[in-house]
Amino acid sequence: MTSTATTIEEYQRGGYKYGFVTDIEMDSLPPGLNEDVIRAISAKKNEPQWMTDWRLEAYQRWLKMDEPDWAFIDYPPIDFNSISYYAAPKSMDDGPKSLDEVDPKLRETYNKLGIPLEEQMMLAGVAVDAVFDSVSVATTFKEKLGEMGIVFCSITEAIQEHPELVKKYLGSVVPQNDNYYAALNSAVFTDGSFVFVPKGVKCPMDLSTYFRINARNTGQFERTLVIAEEGSSVSYLEGCTAPQRDENQLHAAVVELVALDDASIRYSTIQNWYPGDENGVGGIYNFVTKRGKCQGKRSHISWTQVETGSAITWKYPSCILLGDDSMGEFYSVAVTNNRQQADTGTKMIHIGKNTRSTIISKGISAGVSNNSYRGLVQINKGAHNARNYTQCDSMLMGDKCGAHTFPYIDVRNPTAHVEHEATTSKIGEDQMFYCTQRGLSEEDAISLIVNGFCKEVLQELPMEFAVEADKLLGISLEGSVG
């Protein structure tokens, strides 16, 4: 076991590889939150009056709400008045007309992250709507997608260009007063992505957004809305990395997905926000509300997430299975190390008949971290023949971390079949022995075993992401355990 201790230490010393800061002049609002700040955000984005009113309404609701405290996480109270709610790179004021005009420093940043923004991007077949702090800086493939009727743009643009769609769907899955952070987001969201896939169209490529938090003291509040009309399908990728900071940064995003009859949405996330150092200093507070509504018959929403970053993760990508025969899936790998805390899982609300859901969750805890799965499976009265299968496995690395499982199952229809299984384990000495005696180094052996542990989730990721996820797991668990 001594080798275990050493490897854990090595892992804990492993620095955050994306911790650099891009030095760009920022156009920020002073810290603080009040109606004027919200009006200012709305004005900066040149929003119509209905949008400003919607934000103010959300703010009023937020004021009446309490911060939730039920999650298995511990953090000092957040002073919402010490955060600046708007930051845009200055150079945006001139507005880049093409990729070449994008601020070279920004592009350099993305290149460090390995984001294929230029030629590589074409080759990779990925359309990128890169969000640098709060304003979308580059959108590609827009025209090509536009020919098919697909809208892929920033939410700011969508509010200007497609107000009828935004009005109809914004807040339809995650209402303003859904929870504390969703209300906050509704009031102050600065940017995010908007996807609309019209009837019968299969989106020919994976749509991708990289988020990046850059400016000091700015919360990132994105709002993403994906709408798939009848018979359409789309795959959306979201990746996040953030530079190293000493202060905790707040990230409260809202993602809404709407799938109509026979539509299919696949949403994949790799979350690698800065997790804080080994003493728990710094790191992102990630309070995210993600929810998909399978509104139509036979619709399908699938969430896949690989969560390795953030000091605190509070995230429950959920599916409301409203349409008959609709299907929801949740595949998750959550890794915590050092003093990271994750409370993540999903909700599957079965409302329609013959609805099915699958939950596969893999939690890996190392260091002195705490990793919790929290999930709800609810079968409503009218949900005849609903099916759910849940499996959540935890793996512990080291004897100072915690792995917890808090499933909630609520069944109100006798024809439902709900199964839940969970296990907690560690990497077996026999597994390690087998691998090492075949000539694998301890590192490779761990990587192999962890990849095997997460395989059911990783194989759900689109190709480009699977490669990155594989790399990330490798980095996150560098030198961990046996």
Partner 1 sequence: MTTMTQNQTMRDNSWLLTELPESVIEHDAARMPKWLADIRRSAFRQFTADGLPSAKQEKWRQINLRPIRETAFGLPADGATDVSEAEVVGHSLPFVDAVRLVFVNGRYAAELSDARAMPSGVTVQTIREALKSESTILETHLTKYVNADDDPFVSLNTALLDDGVVVHIEKNITCDTPIYLLCITTAADGPIITHPRNLIIAEDGAQATIVEDYVGTDGEVYLTNAVTELVVGEDAHLHHYLLERESDAAFNVSTLTAYHKTSSTLSSHTVLLGGALVRNNVNPIIDGEHCHSLLNGLYIGRGKQHIDNLMRVEHRKPNCESRQFYKGILTDESRGVFAGRIIVSRDAQKIDAVQSNQSLLLSEAARANSMPQLEIYADDVKCTHGATIGELDEEALFYLESRGLAEPQAKAMLVHAFAGESLERMNLPVVQEALLQMLTQRLPFTSAANV
Question: In whole angstroms, how close is the CB of 473 to partner 1 at the nearest point?
Answer: 19
- Give the Cα separation of 357 and 317 in Å (integer): 13
Minimum gap (Å) between residue 347 Cβ and partner 1? 14
Nearer to partner 1, 265 or 418 (CB): 418
- Specify the residue, 198 or 402, whose C-beta has the smaller distance to partner 1: 402
Cα distance between residue 326 and residue 342, in whole Å: 29
Alpha-carbon torsion, ordered 286, 289, 290, 292, to 10 deg: 180
Confirm if 379 and 350 have CB atoms less than 8 A apart. yes
The rounded distance, in Å, linking the Cα atoms of 455 and 464 is 16
For partner 1, give the closer residue by CB, 177 or 385: 385
Minimum CB–partner distance for residue 300 and partner 1 (Å): 23
Shortest separation between residue 204's beta carbon and partner 1, angstroms: 41
| Closer by beta carbon to partner 1, 225 or else 396 | 396
The span from the CA of 155 to the CA of 369, in Å, is: 35
DSSP sequence for 84-137: B--EEEGGGGT--SSGGGS-HHHHHHHHHHT---SHHHHHHT-EEEEEETTEEE
Phi first, then psi: give them for residue 277, nearest 5 degrees: -85, -170
CB of 343 to partner 1, least distance (A): 12
For the record, the structure tokens of 370 come out as 């705490």
- Residue with smaller CB distance to partner 1, 315 or 374: 374
Provide, rounded to whole angstroms, the least separation between the CB of residue 253 and partner 1: 26
Residues engaged in binding partner 1 (CB under 8 A): 70, 379, 381, 394, 396-426
Longest dimension (CA), the chain: 68
| AA identity, residue 285 | Y
Nearest approach, Cβ of residue 143 and partner 1 (Å): 51
For residues 229 and 393, which CB has a smaller minimum distance to partner 1 in the complex?
393
Q: How far apart are CA 382 and CA 390, in angstroms?
A: 21
Q: Closest CB to partner 1 among 301 and 401?
A: 401
Instruction: Give SS3 for 8.
Output: helix
